[in-house]
Structures are given as C-alpha cells and as structure tokens.
C-alpha cells in the first residue's frame, strides 16, 4: 500500500501557479540528457553514502531514490523518500528529502545554488532533478514511455506535456512527471503531476504545470483534473 504524499502538495503550492493549459513542445537541441535518479535501497552506493550521512532514515517499504553528480566541479547528492504507510506514526518513516553540496547538507528551505551555470545538458539535468527531489518529488520521471508503460491511461495526458530537458534562451528547462498511488480501505487514487524546473544562469525556479487524478476516494473523485 502506498500513499499520496500530502506534504508534496503543500510544498509545491509555494512553487508557483498551476497551468493546466500547457501543451507539448518538441525539446530543442541540448535535451536528451539521461535521468540521474536511481533507486537507493540496495544500490551499490548505499553503504558508502550511509556511512557518510548516518542521518539518513532506513529504507522501509517505500520509494527511496538518490542522485549524485558533479556540477561545475561540485559534488551534488540528492536523496528523496516517500512515506512508509507501515509506521509513519513512529517517526523517521515520513516523506522527506536530503541534499548535499560539496558534502555539506543544503537547507531544505532554499533552492539549490551552485557557483556557476551547468556546463552541459547532463549537469543541467542533475541540478534540476535534484531541485525537484528537494521539493519532495521522489521520482521525477523524464521518460514518457516508461510512465506510459506503468499507467497506460495517462498516455493522452503525457502527449500534452513533452517530458525531458530543453535548452532555452536563458538556460535550461526540465519537464518531469511524478506518478503516485494511494490504496487503502475505500480509497483507490492515482495521480499524474507534471512539473517544470528552469535554470536561468544559477537561479532555479519550479512550478507545477498540471495535476491529473483518477479513481475514487470514499465515493468521491480523487483530487486532480480528469485524465483526457
């Protein structure tokens, strides 16, 4: 059983307005960078990272991801985890995120700031995905085919929003998706949320572009716009 991260909606409300009229644009040259986000629990890097950062909570039965990259010569590590429905009342098993720059913890209240703009698409992808993870997007997906494979009913919604990285006049823009599911007594909800994160020089801004929902929660429609 997985839960929709209610805290995610609260955090993202501060990121900017939602634009449900957005339509897909073909990524410009400079896109095509691969996602840096990987599953953390059981990864070859897990033991090393936990040794350096013992404050990280245990895995439990939840989504738990990490990203590590060099951006402008600075080591960047981002870790995000969902809430474990087994024991959220015991502490340490809630939704959360951890960002480290040059090995030091980055304040969760501030956008990630590095000294210089990204050198290439790969660095831009890492920076922007890490920023979404900081905002509790545990798995910012940029592969539309993979999202469709996990939820075929979302195909038409994904056609409206071209996922991936693109070069802009000011820097870089990343469009990513998050798919969540909540299942418990009387509730069976799925959500597809589309996010945009932009880099202008070294300034990062984020916004929620659209939220789609499907299913029922105790007889009422689940939150979000209906899937097209």
User: What pLDDT shows up at residue 32?
Assistant: 62
User: What pLDDT shows up at residue 21?
Assistant: 37
Question: Does residue 224 register a pLDDT over 80?
Answer: yes
Per-residue confidence band for 8, with pLDDT thresholds at 50, 70 and 90:
very low
**Which percentage of the chain shows pLDDT scores above 70?**
83
User: What pLDDT shows up at residue 191?
Assistant: 95
Question: Does residue 28 register a pLDDT over 80?
Answer: no
Structure tokens given for 3? 């839960």
Q: Over the stretch 166-223, which tens digit does the pLDDT of each residue have? A: 999 999 999 999 999 888 888 899 999 999 999 999 999 999 999 999 999 888 999 9
Question: Residue 76 and residue 137: Cα distance in Å, rounded?
Answer: 17
219 against 10, higher pLDDT? 219
Q: Over the stretch 78-125, which tens digit does the pLDDT of each residue have? A: 999 998 777 655 556 788 999 999 999 998 889 999 999 999 999 999
Lowest-pLDDT choice from 5-14, 37-46, 212-221: 5-14
On the CB side of 4, CA atoms within 13 Å amount to 24
Structure tokens given for 31? 């896109």
35 against 9, higher pLDDT? 35
User: What pLDDT shows up at residue 7?
Assistant: 38
Instruction: Summarize the confidence of residues 220-227 as an average pLDDT.
Output: 93
CB atoms within 10 A of CB 225: 14
Question: Does residue 72 register a pLDDT over 50?
Answer: yes
Q: What is the pTM of this model?
A: 0.84
Q: Where are the domains of the chain?
A: 6-226
Question: Does residue 44 register a pLDDT over 60?
Answer: yes
């Amino acid at each position: 059983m997985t839960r929709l991260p209610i805290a995610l909606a609260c955090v993202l409300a501060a990121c900017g307005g939602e634009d449900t009229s957005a339509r897909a644009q073909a990524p410009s040259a400079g896109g095509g960078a691969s996602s840096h986000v990987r599953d953390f629990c059981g990864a070859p890097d897990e033991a090393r990272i936990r040794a350096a950062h013992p404050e990280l909570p245990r895995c439990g039965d939840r989504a738990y991801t990490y990203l590590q990259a060099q951006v402008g010569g600075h080591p960047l590590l981002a870790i995000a985890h969902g809430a474990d429905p087994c024991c959220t009342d015991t502490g340490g098993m809630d939704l959360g995120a951890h960002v480290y720059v040059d090995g030091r913890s980055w304040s969760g209240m501030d956008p990630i700031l590095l000294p210089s703009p990204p050198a290439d698409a790969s660095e831009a992808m890492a920076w922007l995905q890490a920023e979404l993870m900081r905002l509790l997007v545990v798995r910012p997906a940029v592969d539309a085919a993979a999202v469709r494979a996990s939820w075929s009913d979302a195909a038409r919604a994904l056609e409206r929003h071209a996922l991936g990285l693109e070069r802009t006049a000011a820097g870089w823009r990343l469009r990513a998706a998050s798919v969540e599911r909540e299942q418990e007594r009387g509730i069976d909800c799925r959500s597809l949320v589309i996010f945009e994160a932009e880099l202008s020089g070294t300034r990062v801004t984020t916004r929620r572009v659209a939220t789609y929902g499907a299913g029922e929660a105790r007889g009422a429609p689940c939150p979000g716009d209906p899937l097209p």
